[in-house]
Structure 1
Amino acid sequence: MANLKRTREDILTSAIATVHRQGLQSTGLKDLFAVTQASSGSFYNYFPSKDEFAHALIDFQWQQIREDTFEATKELAEDPIARLFLVIDKIEAKHLSEINCAGCLLGNLIVDLVEHNESFRQHLQQIFDDWQALFAELLQAGKAQLSDRVDPDLLAEQILTMLEGVLLMVRLYSDSDRLRRGFNNIRQVVKAALVSQQP
């Protein structure tokens, strides 16, 4: 029986695994009601439409990533480059813990949603711009450790692009060793940008 007292966060949290695994377009409203144990009235109270639910899920997932990686490492390292490596480590650990190797939910939603409605393209662009900006912020703060030839903003773009590429290929191959190799390649790109690594 549906739980009429499910909160907005309850619904989003309980829907993530299903949407992550099978995509939002392939997940019907009945599926969402079932997996979230929310009545249709409760669901629509928070999300007037499936598109509104999708936008909320995008924001919720980005909040989780930000808190679990960038926010969680603030107290662990004062050095911005050391913190960048911790962020990379945390993202890798999160995906290694996901047995089904479902890739990045936000990356998956690019393929799933951007052709469905232009508002999703704009929303996801903003999210990925914000993600890239957080990488760039750490690199800018640690610029003294970077080679003069390195543009922190372009390196941030490269890190995010590599990260999403790795997670997409891991979803295809469902191979944790491939994930580890991909994240090691990301670390090598950052290390190669450091002054201490220059000949």
Structure 2
Amino acid sequence: MESNKNFVYVNEFVSVCVESCEYHGFHIKPGMIVVDKSLAREAFSIVHLKDDVIVSYKGSYDDYFGIWAKGNGDYKKRKCRIAPYLHKLAADLEEIITTCGQKDIDKLICDRPCESEIYTGEGFRITYKEPGDRCNDGGEYGYYMDFRKTEIPGLYDVESWTTCDFDSCGTGFEGFAWLTEKSSDLWKSRGVYAEDLKKHSKRSLAMRVAKEILKREQG
């Protein structure tokens, strides 16, 4: 895979665009992922592939990825599943898509607080609604927000969740957020502070990308 300053390289086969540019005749935007054609040919089962594949999204309710692939001619849009035995690649792409979109990159750079203001304490859980006595039998469900510490001081992995067994009710990964001492106190005051979270974020690929972006910004 060729070197390009507009990308962060996850490994020798996968890179993430962090600044808009032309890539082999395709206008690629921040958050899009390039998969080297040698891997993409196998992963997406495209026999006559002439160039690297560009991944733009993953379906919310299925295993299909939205990709741009070049056969004979220009890049064309497709929906493809990744071969089941390459499930690690599918998981990696999904993590990057979820955490490294253009808005996520902008927020990472623009919202970064001064070092003297950042919160560096343990992650924590906020309870917004306590589950009722019959929460698993049609009663009131509990709603929570977790802030998990990452490798980057002051940056936290934010995820909401519910005790509902049948539906996520719109909860899930909310993104990464910078916390200051003031904002962490504000978050804790919005619900019932439940507990410290000792386990840190496991989104290692996202952290690799975030670290490189911040390193470049610092200069």
Is TM > 0.5 for Structure 1 vs Structure 2? no
TM-score relative to the length of structure 2: 0.26
TM-score relative to the length of structure 1: 0.28
- Give the strand-richer structure, 1 or 2: 2
- Give the helix-richer structure, 1 or 2: 1
- Larger RCO (CA within 8 A; separation ≥ 6): 1
